[in-house]
Amino acid sequence: MRLSRGGVDLGQLTRDVVSSLGILAEERNQRLAIDVADGVLVKADRLVLREAITNVVDNAIKYSPQGSTIHIRVQSNNGRAILTVADEGAGIAPEHRERIFDRFFRLDEARSRENGGTGLGLAIARWAVEVNGGQITVDSGATGGSIFRIALPTGDAAATPHREHATQPKGGHT
């Protein structure tokens, strides 16, 4: 896959994703609360990074109870852009937190089938974040649920003109 990296406003990209997924949240009577700092620029392939954000927010919608709130935040901290998606779902046990990023891994086979999951969304999200120089992690919230964090480098490099780079997902084949 060829990447086209350039300066991406992470806040605006996140707003776009939230706007496109808003109808899914409305169908479940959920609220998407977004808090975005202005001018958080990253150097990334916009379409690939959009896929990562979409998969994380979509999972939060799917696995959170009806009537819950999903908090989405974008901020800059010590040269890193941080996107946080916190939900009010069941959470993820510590022993599964790294495995959820593996291809085809599902916490609950029946629940995943019911929601149409293939077990690829978070694996794709991890690949998309890492290929853009970032890291994705998950923790438990203080009152339950999951908190996904995507951290990407910021700074002057983010504002440079885009260049194309060839890459391939980990474990993938051409």
> Which is more confident, 168 or 17?
17
Determine the CATH number of domain 2-159.
Answer: 3.30.565.10
pLDDT (0 to 100) of residue 120: 72
CB-CB neighbours of 158 under 10 Å: 20
Q: Which pLDDT band holds residue 172 (cuts at 50, 70, 90)?
A: very low
**Residue pLDDT, tens place only, 16-48:** 999 999 999 999 999 999 999 999 999 999 999
Distances (CA, A) of 63 to 11, 24, 70, 115: 24, 12, 11, 9
Structure tokens at 48: 């690939």
Q: Helices then strands (H, E): number in the chain?
A: 4, 8
Examine the pLDDT at 56 and tell me if it is beyond 70: yes
pTM of the model: 0.79
